[in-house]
Copies of this chain bind each other. A is one copy, B any other.
Amino acid sequence: MSEEERIAQLSDRLGIPLDPELIIQSHTPYTQLVRGKHDQKPLENKTVLVVGGDGDKCRDVAKQYGFKSMLTPGDIFMAHPSIWPFSSAFSHYYKGITKPLTNSIDPIDPSKGLKIDAILVFNDPRDWALDIQIIIDLLLSREGIVGTISDKNNRDDLPNRGYQQDGQPALYFSNPDLLWAAGYHQPRLGQGGFCAALEGVWSAMTGGSESGVALLKTMIGKPHKLTYDFAEQRLIELRNKRFQTDVPAPLETIYMIGDNPESDIRGAHSYISSTNVNWVPVLVRSGVYTGGTPTWTPKTIVDGVGEAVSWSLAQSNWKQHLSDR
């Protein structure tokens, strides 16, 4: 779901108009990859593999983020069913959601073939087997060209034994959670579960950490740094806009209100702000955390979000500031 759709849903439920800029989802930081960031070249005019989500929704979100060329594993499967013959069981599903490839795998001269420049897991994959097979193929390929194999793989004179050293697409995950809670009475495997399955296959294919091979990847989402960077930057921008000035007083404190000690609270603890903002973790009892000693210690524990906001405003002496002016 895009930020526009998500905020419209919230606006509707709360009965107040809200700006899409107010919401950051786990995959929102992917917007930065369109123009490039750190060691990732701009992806706007490159081909990204969009993995996960129901039907074709994540492709739509990627398009709204500004990516121009997007493929899904299902697109590749429908054009080349032999790449993972077992997904023929799910052809009925793929028929409705896939798009034709603009370029094909060419086993005779692969350099002419389909090239993927980045792999973006947006949301929980449905067909783990197909998605893992295609991601593994790309991570072992030469420069992300589907159907090739890098001759640097398994060379002990190269870093990571030569794996992912040949221009293969970078691999991004939007959410590291191993488990999440839904309708079933026990937690279910999340995107982190898919990543663990991929790690297992990667280990079996390459020898894994025992052989000195890691799966090189970038994790977005709480508790990872990139998401906190992105949120802090967004808060500073919003604040500048609200105060209608280019040089407002520096942002001093961010209250991180969350229900999950392992992601929300841990992230606020571990994050080191480049602008010296003080992140204050506030844990609520109304979600994943229900009681006991949390795995990461918050500044305070309160019953729900309303109470958390009141507590934060009181801490920041907000009323006093107002009356000072």
Q: How far is the CA of A10 from the CA of B116 in the complex (A)?
A: 43
Contact indicator B132/A197 (Cβ below 8 Å): yes
In the assembly, how many copies of this chain are there?
A: 2
Contact indicator A194/B83 (Cβ below 8 Å): no
Q: How far is the CA of A93 from the CA of B178 in the complex (A)?
A: 27
Contact indicator A201/B200 (Cβ below 8 Å): yes
Q: Is the interface of A mostly helix, strand, loop or mixed?
A: helix
**Interface residue? A184 (CB, 8 A):** yes
Q: Interface-forming stretch among A38-46, A185-193, A289-297? A: A185-193
Q: Interface-forming stretch among A23-31, A84-92, A270-278, A311-319? A: A84-92
Residues of B within 8 A of A133 (CB): 188-189, 193
In chain B, what residue has the closest Cβ to A185? B107
Residues of B within 8 A of A5 (CB): none
**Residue tally, chain A, CB below 8 Å to B:** 46
* Known interface pairs A199-B200, A200-B200; A126-B189 also in contact (CB < 8 Å): no
Contact indicator B83/A89 (Cβ below 8 Å): no
**What are 15 A-B pairs at a CB distance below 8 A?**
A80-B184, A87-B126, A90-B90, A127-B127, A128-B129, A128-B132, A129-B194, A132-B197, A133-B193, A137-B186, A193-B204, A196-B204, A196-B205, A199-B203, A200-B200
